[in-house]
Chains A and B, each alone.
Chain A
Amino acid sequence: MNWSSIRGHSEQVQMLRRSLARGRLAHAYLFAGPPGIGKSKFARVFAQALFCERHHEAELEMCDECHCCREMNANSHPDYFHIRKPEDKAEISVDRFIGVPEKRPRDGLIYDLSLKPMEARRRIALINDANFMNDEGANAMLKTLEEPPPQSVLILIAEKLDAVLPTIRSRCQLLRFSALSQQDVAELLIENEMASNPEEATEVASMSEGSLQVAAQLLKPELRQLRDQLSKYLSSADMNPIAASKTMLEGIDASANEAAENRRNVGWLIRFAQEFYRQATLLIANPNGLVNPSLEVRSFAERQRKLGTIGLERTLELFDRVLEAEKHISMNIAPARTIDSLFDDLARLGRRKVSTP
C-alpha cells in the first residue's frame, strides 16, 4: 500500500507533511469523518510512511519494499498495534486496552506501548471505531493519551465525533476527513469490481454521500429491487397506496435480518423516493437536464410537465411530504406507520383534481 491507494484526502496528507517538516508530529490524532471514506486505510498508510526505512519521516513517503513496509502489508509489524470493534460486539472491550483480567496490567495496548519499539523508531497504535470505546476503556486510555510513552503515536478513528468522550477528544489533535467525491466513489466501485457497469457506478455514487460503505449497501440486490418497485409505484398516475405500502414493507422485511437493519432500509426507501422526485423536478424544469434518467422518472416528469406550473408545484409538494417522512423516521415513529401514511398522502396529493383556470 502507498498513498496512491488512497483516494482523495490529499489536503490531510499535506497537513501531516507540514507538521512533520516542523517536527510537530502530534502524539495522538483523532481522524473524524463519515464511514466508508478510507480513514482507516489512510491511517495505515500514514503509519507505514512513518515506519518506512528508506524515506526520512518528514517526506511521509514509503517504498513498499523495505522490511518495515513488507511487514506493514502483511500486518505483522511488531511496533504497529491495531484495535477495532469486533463485528459481533456493540463496543470495544476494555480488555483490549488494559488486558484480560487474569493478565492485567501486563497485557493489552497500554502495556504494549510501555515497551520500547522493536524495529522502528516509534510505536503506532490505531484505534478504529473509537466512538465505540466504552467509558471504562476510554477512561483507561486517558492517561496514555494525555502523556503517551515517548516516541509513540496514537491514531483514533471515529465516525461520529459526538460519540467520543470529550475527555478523549480534547487530548487528541483533530483531523477531519470529508466525504469522497461522487467521481471517486464511482471509480472505486469499478476498480473494486463492486459495480457491474459505469452507469450503475455513477448512479449509486450519486446517492452514496461520498461513502464507499453506503455505496456497497446500495448495491445489495434486495435494495435495488426495492428501488425499482418504488419507482414503478411513484410513476403510476393512479397509485394504490395500500398495495404500495404493503409491497414496500414486505420488501424491507425480506431485505433485513434485524431491527436496526430494517430501520436503516426504511431510511433508504425514503431516500430513494427523494431521489425520484429530485430527478423528476430537474426533468420538469429542463427535459434535457439529466443524463440517462430512468423510464419511470421520465414518464412521471412528462405527465407533470403537461400540467404546467401546477405540475412542478405538485412535484415539490410530494417531495416535501417525503422529507417529512424522513423526519418521522428520525423521530423514531414506527417504520410501518411512517410508510403507510407516506403512501397514503402521496396517493392523495397525486390524485387531487387540477382546476384549470
Chain B
Amino acid sequence: MLLKCHRPTLTAALLTVSGVVPSRTPKDILKNIKLTVNAGKTVLIGTDQEIGIRQDVVNVETESTGEVLLPAARVVSILREMPDEHVELHATERALVLKGAHSDFNLSTEDPTEFPSVAAFEDASYFTIAANTLKTMIRRTIFATDTESARYALGGILVEAGPDRMTLAATDSRRLSVMSGVCQAIGDAKSENAMPVVPSKAMGLIERSLPDSEEPVLLSIHANHVLVKCGGTTIYSRLVEGRFPRYADVIPSSFNSSVDMVVGPFYAAVRQSQIVTNEESRGVDFIFEDGKLMLSSRAADIGQSRIELPISYDGPHLSITFDPKFVADFLRILDNGSAMKLNLIDGESPAVLTTEDGYKYVVMPLSRDQ
C-alpha cells in the first residue's frame, strides 16, 4: 500500500483521532490507529472500546487499497518532527515505512484484522441538527450528569430524537437539566433504542469536536451505539445500559409565582452567597419579598451573609433553600446579559429555571431543618 499525504493535514487528522487512543490499556492493539484506504478514500480509526473516532483524511494521493495499523504515539511524534511538506507511507504485511525527503522511518506494525471494528456512518435515515445548537444543548446538560455514583444510567445524557425536535436530558437526582432544539429527520429516521443514554465522556468529546457554526450534524441512534457525524469526523459511542428516570414526570407544570431575572446580577449574588457556606451547611435561603430577593446564609464557625437584589416580584413572602452550587451551575453557562425565569410553587417544591430558548432546569430545594 502506498500513499502520499500532505503532512500537516495527516498530522491534524491523527491528532484528532489520538484523542480517544488510550495511553495505558491492557490491550496493546488499542494504542494503534487504523488507516484504511478504499476507493481513494482514506480513513483513520481509533478507539478505546468505549468511544471511537473515524476521521476522513484529505489531500492524499493513492491508488492502493488496504489497511494498516499505525502505532499512534510514535507516528504522531515522527510526523510532528518532519520538516517536509509531504510524506510517503508504504505499508506491507508487517512493516510501515514513513518517508520524507531526507528521512525514513521503518516501523513494525500489528495485524490490522485484529483491531476492533468501529461502526461507520452508513445510514440512509438519520437526524440532522445544527452544530452550534447541539453544542449548546450538550453544554447545558452535561454538568448535571452524575459521574460519581455507580448509577451508570445517570452518568450520561439521554438523547430523545423526534421528527422535528431533539431533547437532551441529564440528572443526578437532585437537579435535572433538559434542553431541546430543532432537528430534522431525514428518511425514516428513528431511534433504535427506546432510551439511548450516551456516556458523558463521549458527549464531552462530541461537544469539543463540533464547530461553532450551523453546519449540519448527522446523528443516528442504534440499539447499542450512537453515531455522530460532522464533516469528515464520525464519533462512535457505546450507549449506557440501564434505565433513565422518567424525567418529564418531575417537571412541575403550574407555578404560584414566576420571577423574571437577568443572569449577570443573579449569578453575582449567588456567587457571593456561596462564600459563607461549608460542607455541613451548604444551604442558602432565597427569600422573595416585595421588589427584592434576599440571599441569606449562615455557617457554623464561619459566619453569616446577607445579599439583597432588587427584582420585579410582587407576590407573597416566599422562602426556599437551595444548594447555591446547583443554581450557580445553571447560571454559569448562560450569557450574563440574557434573561431567565425562576418559577416557584412554594418552599418545599422543586423550582424550575427556564430560558426563552427551550432550556429547563429543575432544582430540588434543601429541607428546611438543616
Q: Which residues of B contact A98 (CB under 8 A)?
A: 150
A150 at interface by CB-CB < 8 Å: yes
A105 B199 Cβ-Cβ under 8 A: no
Q: Which residues of B contact A260 (CB under 8 A)?
A: none
Q: Which residues of B contact A225 (CB under 8 A)?
A: none
Q: Which residues of A contact B152 (CB under 8 A)?
A: 105, 111, 114
Q: Which residues of A contact B223 (CB under 8 A)?
A: 116
B135 at interface by CB-CB < 8 Å: no
A54 to chain B, nearest CB (A): 15
B149 A105 Cβ-Cβ under 8 A: yes
Interface stretch (choices A74-82, A167-175, A216-224): A74-82
- In the assembled complex, the Cα of A78 lies from the Cα of B115 at a distance in Å of 9
A110 at interface by CB-CB < 8 Å: yes
- In the assembled complex, the Cα of A105 lies from the Cα of B200 at a distance in Å of 13
B94 to chain A, nearest CB (A): 14
* A81-111 with Cβ < 8 A to chain B: 82, 98, 105-106, 110-111
* B104-120 with Cβ < 8 A to chain A: 111, 113-117
* B135-191 with Cβ < 8 A to chain A: 147-150, 152, 155
B114 A118 Cβ-Cβ under 8 A: no
B240 at interface by CB-CB < 8 Å: yes
Q: Which residues of B contact A261 (CB under 8 A)?
A: none
- In the assembled complex, the Cα of A98 lies from the Cα of B149 at a distance in Å of 11
Given contacts A76-B29, A150-B241, contact A115 B116 (CB under 8 A): no
A70 B113 Cβ-Cβ under 8 A: yes
Scoring B27, B47, B50, B242 by chain A CB atoms within 10 A of each residue's CB, the highest score goes to B27
* B14-47 with Cβ < 8 A to chain A: 26-27, 29-30, 47
* B272-295 with Cβ < 8 A to chain A: none
Q: Which residues of A contact B62 (CB under 8 A)?
A: none
A137 at interface by CB-CB < 8 Å: no
Query: Looking at chain B, what size class is its interface with the partner chain?
Result: 20 to 34
B240 A77 Cβ-Cβ under 8 A: no
B117 A116 Cβ-Cβ under 8 A: no
Residue of chain A at shortest CB distance from B111: A74
Given contacts A74-B114, A106-B155, contact A118 B49 (CB under 8 A): yes
Scoring A73, A98, A110, A117 by chain B CB atoms within 10 A of each residue's CB, the highest score goes to A117
Given contacts A111-B152, A116-B224, contact A71 B116 (CB under 8 A): yes
B31 to chain A, nearest CB (A): 11
Scoring A106, A110, A115 by chain B CB atoms within 10 A of each residue's CB, the highest score goes to A115
B239 at interface by CB-CB < 8 Å: yes
A115 B239 Cβ-Cβ under 8 A: yes
B54 at interface by CB-CB < 8 Å: no
B29 A74 Cβ-Cβ under 8 A: yes
- In the assembled complex, the Cα of A75 lies from the Cα of B28 at a distance in Å of 9
Residue of B26, B27, B241 near A116 (CB, 8 A) is B241
A105 B240 Cβ-Cβ under 8 A: no
B99 at interface by CB-CB < 8 Å: no
Residue of chain B at shortest CB distance from A143: B150
Given contacts A70-B114, A105-B148, A105-B149, contact A114 B240 (CB under 8 A): yes
B224 A114 Cβ-Cβ under 8 A: no
B90 to chain A, nearest CB (A): 24
- In the assembled complex, the Cα of A217 lies from the Cα of B27 at a distance in Å of 30
B7 at interface by CB-CB < 8 Å: no
A115 B150 Cβ-Cβ under 8 A: no
Q: Which residues of B contact A78 (CB under 8 A)?
A: 47, 49, 116
- In the assembled complex, the Cα of A115 lies from the Cα of B48 at a distance in Å of 13
B360 at interface by CB-CB < 8 Å: no
Q: Which residues of B contact A112 (CB under 8 A)?
A: 49-50
B201 at interface by CB-CB < 8 Å: yes
Residue of chain A at shortest CB distance from B52: A118
A76 B241 Cβ-Cβ under 8 A: no
B238 at interface by CB-CB < 8 Å: yes
- B-binding residues in A (CB < 8 A): 67, 70-71, 73-78, 82, 98, 105-106, 110-119, 149-150
> 13 additional contacts, CB 8 Å, given A112-B49, A114-B242, A118-B224?
A74-B29, A74-B111, A76-B114, A77-B116, A78-B47, A98-B150, A111-B152, A114-B152, A115-B239, A115-B240, A116-B223, A116-B225, A118-B238
In the assembled complex, 24 residue pairs joining A and B whose CB atoms fall closer than 8 Å, in A order, are A67-B113, A74-B111, A74-B114, A76-B27, A76-B114, A78-B47, A98-B150, A105-B150, A106-B155, A106-B201, A110-B150, A112-B49, A112-B50, A114-B152, A115-B238, A115-B239, A116-B223, A116-B240, A116-B241, A118-B225, A118-B238, A119-B116, A119-B117, A149-B241
The 8 closest A-B pairs by CB, nearest first: A74-B114, A114-B152, A116-B224, A149-B241, A78-B116, A115-B238, A78-B49, A76-B29
